[in-house]
């Protein structure tokens, strides 16, 4: 039996980052992976979807070249080539993780790992043991009883990335990050897209102003949106698919080539031996303390299998914190109230902290500032005037309660708010920090100025 200090089960952005940090700290480390290094994020999620979205963005630039004083004749796309480029990017990233494993002297054990009592893992009949076992098995596309996935006409995100032919009509069920990113991609490629959302607003976790702006931008792009609506039944017996949608006005039947189910994720906790070891689970999540220890000593869990936000950067942060705690370092528990969320459709969405509604519900007396990109010189020059930056401050102490952005490139701008909140900065400090001109990021300063009645360019 091979013996390690730390074994990590799963090699997604939680697992492989955890393994690397463990190795840096001097632990003899192994990673167990049943499929491809990098997990869903690198192979079927974060990275290849961004490659698809970039192709869509470039195609849109070509179609609107005249807006920039340029002439492009007969701009067209090769859907198969777009998909192949995305897969190539994913493969390159996965190979990069292989290199990092080798560089950091981490053993990669291929196969399906099952936890066993006594700090052991069985991988396809061979046993490995460790002082510490970290579960990082991630999640997959969740299926609804009314929307069973067949992988052909009713698909999840994995199939949506590798379709052989571009559908003429698509229904996207769910308008979280996955749903709206694919809605944007396929619409930009020329597919007729309809979004069906159960809740009253698209991207329902976002500030309501952001939701309304995205709906306006999407409708302008030709995407149909049905909110407060539910798919109750699907019929795949014909050449395409028919979806029965329950709305406030009654039932409606939509026809399409394909339905993309983007109604959330399901933790990968089945058949990995949790019951055999006695690890506590509640509502599809492994229960852990602030340092990711389960109820059984020597077993830990991070990422999508735990109750925190199901985001790649959260899994990475949790894994690093977990092994640093194991190493005896002084670490602070992760602040889940200061986790940025990003959606990479066009316009992009980025947010951190409380929404305006949440701040009011918590009883804060607030100052709210908003600066539209239509008033930004850089946005006008770039031809990207949709969207805004919105900031929320506590009126009494100046605490930065929340920041919400929608527009071009905002996923690269949100880190300012995350860092500012981490350092407990005040509105006046942000206002007096000189921002470069002309940039999209100066909209943050302008939004803060608006909150304090000092806005210049609005």
Residues acting as catalytic residues: 437
The answer to the question of whether 399 is labelled as a binding residue is no
Instruction: Report d(CA 310, CA 304) in Å as an integer.
Output: 5
Element (DSSP H or E) covering residue 240: none
113 is in an annotated binding site: yes
- Give helix then strand counts, H and E, for the chain: 14, 24
**What is the phi/psi pair of residue 51, to 5°?**
-65, -45
Give the single-character DSSP code of 452: T
**125 marked among binding-site residues:** no
Whose CA is closest to 181, among 241, 255, 262, 258? 262
Structure-token pair, residue 24: 């840096």
- Alpha helical stretches, state H, 124-230: 157-160, 177-189, 208-220
- 180 is an annotated ligand-binding site residue: yes
Question: Is 176 a known ligand-binding residue?
Answer: yes
CB 273 within 8 A of CB 258: no
Q: Is 179 annotated as a binding residue?
A: yes
55 is in an annotated binding site: no
Tokens 């463990």 map to which residue?
Answer: 22
CA–CA dist 124, 324 (Å, integer): 30
Closest CA to 334 of 70, 14, 51: 14
Is 175 known as a binding-site position? Answer: yes
Contacts of 69 (CB under 8 A, 6+ apart): none
Cite the beta strand spans of 136-276 per DSSP E: 139-141, 154-155, 169-173, 192-196, 224-226, 230-235, 241-247, 250-256, 258-261, 265-267
| Residue 362 among known ligand-binding residues | no
Binding-site positions read 50, 113, 174-181, 197, 264, 304
Annotated binding site for NAD(+): 174-181, 197, 264
Residue list for the binding site for FAD: 50, 113, 304
């Amino acid at each position: 039996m091979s013996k390690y200090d730390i074994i990590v089960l799963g090699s997604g952005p939680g697992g492989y980052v955890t393994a690397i940090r463990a190795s840096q700290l001097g632990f003899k480390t192994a990673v167990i992976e049943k499929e491809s290094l990098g997990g869903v994020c690198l192979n079927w999620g974060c990275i290849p979807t961004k490659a698809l979205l970039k192709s869509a963005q470039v195609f849109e630039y070509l179609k609107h070249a005249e807006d920039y004083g340029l002439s492009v004749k007969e701009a067209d796309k090769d859907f198969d080539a777009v998909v192949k480029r995305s897969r190539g990017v994913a493969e390159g990233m996965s190979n990069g993780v292989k290199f990092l494993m080798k560089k950091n002297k981490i053993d990669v054990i291929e196969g399906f790992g099952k936890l066993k009592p006594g700090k052991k893992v069985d991988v396809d009949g061979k046993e490995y043991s460790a002082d510490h076992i970290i579960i990082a098995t991630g999640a997959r596309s969740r299926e609804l009883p009314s929307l069973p996935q067949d992988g052909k006409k009713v698909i999840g995100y994995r199939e949506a990335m590798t379709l052989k032919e571009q559908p003429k009509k698509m229904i996207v069920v769910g308008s979280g990050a996955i749903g709206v990113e694919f809605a944007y991609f396929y619409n930009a490629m020329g597919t007729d897209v309809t979004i069906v959302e159960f809740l009253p607003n698209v991207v329902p976790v976002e500030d309501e102003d952001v939701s309304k702006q995205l709906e306006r931008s999407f409708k302008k792009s030709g995407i149909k949106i049905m909110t407060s609506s539910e798919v109750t039944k699907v019929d795949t017996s014909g050449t395409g698919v028919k979806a029965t949608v329950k709305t406030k006005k009654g039932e409606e039947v939509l026809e399409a080539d394909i339905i993309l189910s983007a109604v959330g994720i399901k933790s990968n906790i089945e058949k990995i031996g949790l019951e055999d070891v006695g690890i506590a689970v509640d509502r599809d999540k492994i229960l852990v303390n602030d340092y990711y220890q389960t109820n059984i000593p020597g077993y830990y869990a991070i990422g999508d299998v735990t109750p925190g936000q199901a985001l790649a950067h959260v899994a990475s942060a949790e894994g690093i914190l977990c092994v640093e705690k194991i190493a005896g370092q002084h670490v602070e528990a992760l602040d889940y109230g200061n986790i940025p969320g990003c959606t990479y459709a066009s316009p992009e969405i980025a947010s951190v902290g409380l929404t305006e509604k949440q701040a009011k519900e918590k009883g804060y007396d607030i100052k709210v500032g908003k600066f539209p990109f239509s008033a930004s010189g850089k946005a006008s020059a770039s031809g990207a005037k949709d969207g805004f930056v919105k900031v929320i401050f506590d009126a009494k102490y100046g605490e930065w309660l929340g920041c919400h952005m929608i527009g071009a490139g905002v996923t690269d701008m949100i880190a300012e708010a995350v860092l500012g909140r981490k350092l407990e900065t005040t509105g006046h400090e942000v206002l007096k920090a000189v921002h470069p001109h002309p940039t999209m990021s100066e909209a943050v300063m302008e939004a803060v100025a608006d909150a304090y009645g000092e806005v210049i360019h609005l």
